[in-house]
Amino acid sequence: MIIKTEEIIFRGADTAFLSRKAKTVCDIFSYQPENIEQTPLGNLYIVTQLSNVKDSGHLNNLLASIIKREYYLSPRKGQFNSLQSALKKSNQHLADLASRGNLEWLGKIHFICASITEKNIFLTQVGDSKAYLFRENHLVNLSHKIIPGSEKPHPSKVFSSVVSGKIETEDKIILATPAINDLFTQSGLRQILINQSNLPNISDQMNRVLREQQKPIPLAILLLKAEADEVILKTNSSTKQIAKTITPPIDLKEIIK
């Protein structure tokens, strides 16, 4: 199984002007294994927004790099334990910021991270970021499966809960910052996904809605689609394509640290 991606990012007003002030910054980060040892850990996807905080972009990048580095550090731990270690390391960094008196970011982080292998998806969320799964014309809000933290969580427990499940070929997943709910209802998203089968067309339609807004707000949307690998077998000088076995249906369960 391979994962196709499309990104939509709108950063709002003039960034040169905003760089002198506290601002809202949205970012998308996509990571893949860099060597064969890391292959079992699959891909890592992060969509993040930090609102009204100075150096928002720096903290977004720092948290993403910490999670990526720790996640792929010890592949033998496995997918779930590697993600737990990455989240723990992020919590340690945020607790260190708080111990030095930097609490400006607390309660203002909207962050969603997905770890995807051929069989499994693990998902963690902070704040009001959104995650949706589209399968067989049904759209499920995965964010509702994650136990929410308090509005202002403890600095050492910002990242605290994870949900897991199985993915199938043809699944589509949307990871987005909170503003997606200002542009689309869940039924509206479902209609777009039903009408469009490939990610570029879905992205075009979403971008069209965004452009129609008189004052577009900062927004980041990462579109993911699981597609089957094609294995080519040569038989009697002809080629035959077969698809890999589809994994079992998704069965999300809550895992609390």
Question: By residue range, what is the domain housing residue 86?
Answer: 2-256
CATH of the domain at 195: 3.60.40.10
Percentage of residues in the chain having pLDDT higher than 90: 43
Q: Region 71-92: what's the mean pLDDT?
A: 92
Q: Do the beta carbons of residue 98 and residue 176 sit within 8 Å?
A: no
Are the C-beta atoms of residues 220 and 27 closer than 8 Å to each other? yes
Global confidence as pTM: 0.82
pLDDT at 236 over 60: no
Work out the pLDDT band at 16, boundaries 50, 70, 90.
Answer: very low
C-alpha 210/C-alpha 140 separation (Å) is 22
List of residues 6+ apart from 172 with CB closer than 8 A: 133, 134, 135, 193, 199, 202, 223, 224, 225, 226
Tokens for 240, please give them.
């035959």
Total domains, the chain: 1
